[in-house]
Amino acid sequence: MAKIKWTKGEEDLLRRLYPRAEIPKEEIMKVFLGRTWYSIQSHAASLGLHRGISSQIDQQQMIRLEKVYKI
């Protein structure tokens, strides 16, 4: 499989979304279509990012995410 270069915009989104453990990985993957969770984790690590402590995302937060990121 060909390696797809990360854009600045994708990296900016990754910096905002990846550390927030309340956002399920499945929702993050919807933002980065065509990328595996492994590739997302690997790139996040290369940027020095870490996932936070898990908590539940509420319905209002999910609605905002869907609107902002067109999930």
CA end-to-end span of the chain: 25
Q: Domain boundaries in the chain?
A: 8-69
Please, which pLDDT band fits residue 3 given cuts at 50, 70 and 90? Answer: confident
Question: How far is residue 65's CA from residue 7's CA, in Å, rounded to a whole number?
Answer: 20
Once rounded to an integer, what is the mean pLDDT over residues 25-51?
Answer: 95
Once rounded to an integer, what is the mean pLDDT over residues 29-42?
Answer: 95
pLDDT digits (tens, 9 = 90+) for 8-27: 999 999 999 999 988 999 99
